C-alpha cells in the first residue's frame, strides 16, 4: 500500500476467551487491558500513551474468542517506535498489582455497560443458549467473580501459555519496508516461547429448540434467532456467506424488505454468520414493539424457510456477489483492516487466502450451492431464540420455533 503515508503493525495471537479454564473467565480480555498499563521500557500507562500520541499514532487491541490482536498505526517514518512499543508491551509487561486492581474495576464497568445495552446483550444471551456452560458461549469479559479473582501471577501464567511466538503472527500493512520490519522482529521479539495452546471443543447441539428470556422494562423488545451453522474452514463457507447476504445483510436483503419495509414490524433487522474452529452460527436479530414480537418472529421464520425451498434467482445472486465484493474492498481501504485480514488468515484458516482469492471462491458459488448449503444448515433442531424485553409468553415463541 505504497500510496499511503502510514503503516499498521499488528501482533496477532491465536488465543482468546475460548482458551480459558472456567476459573479464568475474562482473563484474556483482562490481559489485553493490562498490557497497556506499563512495560519494561515504558513503565506506566501514561508513558505508553505519550509515546504513541507524541507522533500522532494510534495504539489499540482487541480480544475475541479465538484471536487477540495488538496493533499500532503510525506515519511510516515512525514504524520503529510502533514496533518498539508493541514488542515491549507483549514481551515485558509490568503487571503491577495496584494497576491490576484499578483495571479490574474498569473491566467491570465495561461489563456493566454491555449488560445495560439490551440490543447488544441479546447476542450474548443467544451465545449462552447455543453453547451453554462452555467457553464458546461465555461473555468475553468474564464475570465479576472471575475477574476479581485474577492476580499478577495468574495473568503472567496465561501470557506465557498463550502469547508465545509459536502462536503469533506479525502483520504489516501500508507504506513500510518489509525487510526492515523483519530485522526489527528478529532483534526485539526474542525466543519462540511455548507452543500454541489447545482450545476447548464445542459440545454437541441441544436436541430441541431453546428459548432464553431476560425480562426487562424496555420500550422495545430485542430478538436474536439463531442456529448452528458451519465451522470457519468448512468448504461451504462461501455459499453460506452468500445465503446470509441474501437473507439479512443490507437494506435490500429479504428480511429488511419484508420485516421492515413491507410489514413495518422493526426499525432494524439483519443477519450475520460467525465461524469458529469447530462450530458456527447464523443469527437473525431485530428490535421490535413487544406486542409484535410473535408476528416478527413469524416473518423471520418465513424468510428462512423460503430461502431453503428453491434456488435463488440469478439476478439476486449476482446482486449479492457484487454487494459482498464492494463491501470487502471498502473495508480493506484501511491498512489496519488489511493487517487484521492477513493475521486472521494465518492463525485461523487452513489455507491463507488473499482478498482476491477469497472473492474468487465466492464468485464460483452457484444458486444450487446456496440451496444445498441452506438445506444443510437449516435442518433438524436448528433454531433457538434469545429475547430481552417486557415479559413474553415463552410457549408462544417455542411453538413457532418447533412448528417448522
Residues taking part in catalysis: 32
Say how far apart CA 70 and CA 91 lie, in whole Å.
Answer: 12
Contact predicate 19/135, CB 8 Å: yes
Q: What is the C-alpha end-to-end distance of the chain, expressed in Å?
A: 50
Of 17, 16, 108, the closest CA to residue 68 belongs to 16
Say how far apart CA 34 and CA 39 lie, in whole Å.
Answer: 10
Angle 308-242-18 from CA coordinates, rounded to 5°? 100
Of 58, 79, 80, the closest CA to residue 173 belongs to 79
The residue written with cell numbers 430461502 in the block is: 307
Say how far apart CA 102 and CA 354 lie, in whole Å.
Answer: 41
Q: List C-alpha distances in Å: 374 to 148, 240, 340, 361.
A: 43, 7, 29, 18
Q: Residue 95 contacts by C-beta under 8 Å, 6 or more apart in sequence?
A: 34, 37, 152, 155, 156
Strands 211-215 and 384-389: parallel
Amino acid at each position: 500500500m505504497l500510496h499511503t503515508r502510514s503503516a499498521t503493525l499488528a501482533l496477532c495471537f491465536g488465543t482468546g476467551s475460548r482458551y480459558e479454564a472456567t476459573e479464568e473467565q475474562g482473563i484474556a480480555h483482562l490481559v489485553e487491558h493490562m498490557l497497556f498499563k506499563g512495560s519494561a521500557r515504558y513503565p506506566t500507562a501514561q508513558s505508553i500513551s505519550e509515546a504513541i500520541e507524541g507522533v500522532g499514532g494510534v495504539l489499540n487491541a482487541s480480544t475475541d474468542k479465538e484471536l487477540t490482536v495488538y496493533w499500532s498505526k503510525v506515519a511510516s517514518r515512525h514504524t520503529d517506535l510502533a514496533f518498539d512499543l508493541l514488542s515491549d508491551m507483549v514481551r515485558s509487561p509490568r503487571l503491577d498489582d495496584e494497576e491490576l486492581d484499578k483495571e479490574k474495576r474498569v473491566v467491570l464497568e465495561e461489563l456493566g455497560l454491555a449488560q445495560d445495552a439490551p440490543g447488544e446483550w441479546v447476542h450474548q444471551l443467544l451465545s449462552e443458549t447455543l453453547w451453554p456452560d462452555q467457553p464458546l458461549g461465555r461473555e468475553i469479559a468474564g464475570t465479576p467473580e472471575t475477574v476479581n479473582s485474577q492476580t499478577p501471577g495468574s495473568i503472567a501464567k496465561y501470557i506465557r501459555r498463550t502469547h508465545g511466538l509459536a502462536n503469533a503472527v506479525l502483520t504489516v500493512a501500508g507504506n513500510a519496508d518489509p525487510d526492515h520490519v523483519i530485522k526489527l522482529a528478529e532483534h526485539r521479539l526474542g525466543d519462540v516461547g511455548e507452543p500454541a495452546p489447545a482450545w476447548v471443543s464445542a459440545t454437541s447441539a441441544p436436541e430441541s429448540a431453546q428459548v432464553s428470556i431476560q425480562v426487562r422494562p424496555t420500550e422495545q423488545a430485542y430478538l436474536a434467532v439463531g442456529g448452528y451453522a458451519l465451522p470457519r474452514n468448512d468448504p461451504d463457507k462461501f455459499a453460506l456467506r452468500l445465503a446470509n447476504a441474501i437473507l439479512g445483510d443490507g437494506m435490500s436483503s429479504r428480511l429488511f424488505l419484508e420485516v421492515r419495509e413491507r410489514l413495518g414490524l422493526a426499525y432494524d433487522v439483519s443477519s450475520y454468520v460467525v465461524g469458529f474452529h469447530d462450530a458456527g452460527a447464523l443469527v437473525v436479530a431485530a428490535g421490535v414493539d413487544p406486542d409484535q414480537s410473535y408476528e416478527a418472529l413469524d416473518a423471520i421464520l418465513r424468510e428462512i424457510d423460503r430461502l431453503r425451498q428453491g434456488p435463488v434467482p440469478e439476478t439476486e445472486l449476482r446482486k449479492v456477489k457484487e454487494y459482498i465484493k464492494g463491501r470487502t474492498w471498502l473495508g480493506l481501504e484501511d491498512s489496519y483492516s488489511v493487517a487484521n485480514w492477513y493475521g486472521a488468515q494465518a492463525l485461523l484458516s487452513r489455507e491463507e487466502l488473499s482478498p482476491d482469492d477469497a472473492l474468487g471462491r465466492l464468485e464460483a458459488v452457484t444458486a444450487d450451492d446456496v440451496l444445498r448449503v441452506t438445506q444443510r444448515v437449516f435442518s433438524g433442531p436448528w433454531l433457538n431464540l434469545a429475547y430481552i424485553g417486557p415479559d413474553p409468553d415463552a410457549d408462544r415463541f417455542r411453538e413457532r420455533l418447533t412448528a417448522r
